[in-house]
Structure 1
């Protein structure tokens, strides 16, 4: 079937099989993202930033959580600065411990940073904040906006723990669209996904 239809995915029912499949798919998609030239990724990130403006609207008074780009993810740090310039506030997620939800800490350009998990910069100080909008990079995304991430489960665990649900937007490139992630009961779909070509809610 793979030779007849490249999009074919065998049905998987066991969690162990799904985990193995996700690991292989994760590696494939990250490799494809890293194989895209830096110039192309910069241009796509600019389009994603425009899509986020259209999706969120007025950012004034809103707390928007972004991320520090890692392994070819869209670099939205410039857009993050514009959120602050337009009266919004921005935050970055922090891994507290394995198996625990993330926390969010306010951050704007110039604030002191420490090194977190995988040496990703995190705000060095400040109390946890509650975002109104959470922007999360994707490794893969399916038509129902279920996100394939890095496999730590932090994102779903965090959304399930928040006292109120933020607007959750996945960001990535069109090349990261896949037929399914084989969603499980613990998986939480994005409210919408913004890529370099369009913004969309679940199919």
Structure 2
């Protein structure tokens, strides 16, 4: 087992051991801190020309013991922001899956949920998704990006799940996109094992 694999295994076990009530409260605090920072950073207009009342946020649908970002997503809907969530998609059955972000309306998050929200890791054929009316978003349009992670350290280095999806996603964002990881303090390690291509996140909100 490599150092990354060993770190991933031990941190995921710690994250899973957080009691449900504590995880819910920690998630709420993380979302509050995220929103407070957004409110202080974004004024009447962003450099991309989007008004602070109409931002585009790329987030994720939490699975297993991840930080529950639903309070953040519902706050985004209340503010009139566009919410985008990822789906694993394949161009053909034999090709590897890649992450595509689709716009998700609030009722699609809470009631008329597309299948890919309930199965975030399952790949779907892109042609089938297009036939259902789904159209992927241009990553350059995102004003805010919420990044899940497995482990982090004081230098904001991030250890992901090993698929490289966010390693490929992050470089596609605009330089002025507000990028932040979210995690529980139980996921903090002394030093994240890295490789030369690994880069830190600009910020991580934790509780």
Q: Which TM-score bucket, shorter chain as reference?
A: 0.7 to 0.9
When residues 117 and 52 of structure 1 are mapped into structure 2, their CA distance, relative to the original with a 3 A threshold, is closer
Residues 81-123 of structure 1, C-alpha deviations (whole Å, 9 max, x = no match): 12011121111022234766522111132224123453599x9
Contact 1:101 1:158 in 2 (8 A): no
Deviation, 1:31, is 0.9
Question: How many angstroms apart in 2 are the aligned matches of 1:29 and 1:62?
Answer: 33
Contact 2:151 2:187 in 1 (8 A): yes
Over 6 Å off, 4+ runs? none
Match of 1:33 among 10, 15, 38: 15
Residue in 1 aligned with 2:80? 87
Question: How many angstroms apart in 1 are the aligned matches of 2:190 and 2:103?
Answer: 35
Give me the TM-score of the superposition, normalised by structure 1: 0.77
Deviation, 1:178, is 1.0
Residue in 2 aligned with 1:109? 106
Deviation, 1:24, is 1.2
Residues 160-191 of structure 1, C-alpha deviations (whole Å, 9 max, x = no match): 2x162422110011111112223223223211
- The structure with the greater share of residues assigned to helix is 2
Query: Structure 2 stretches of 5 or more lacking a match?
Result: 43-51
Aligned pairs, number: 176
Residue in 2 aligned with 1:44? 26
Question: How many angstroms apart in 2 are the aligned matches of 1:94 and 1:43?
Answer: 27
Contact 2:88 2:123 in 1 (8 A): no
Deviation, 1:41, is 0.3
Question: How many angstroms apart in 1 are the aligned matches of 2:186 and 2:11?
Answer: 8
Query: Structure 1 stretches of 5 or more lacking a match?
Result: 1-18, 197-203
Residues 38-92 of structure 1, C-alpha deviations (whole Å, 9 max, x = no match): 0000000110111111221255211111111112111111320120111211110
Contact 1:68 1:120 in 2 (8 A): no
Contact 1:141 1:176 in 2 (8 A): yes
Contact 1:66 1:91 in 2 (8 A): yes
Q: Secondary structure at the match of 2:115?
A: strand
Give me the TM-score of the superposition, normalised by structure 2: 0.76
Q: CA RMSD in A?
A: 2.4
Question: How many angstroms apart in 2 are the aligned matches of 1:29 and 1:173?
Answer: 10
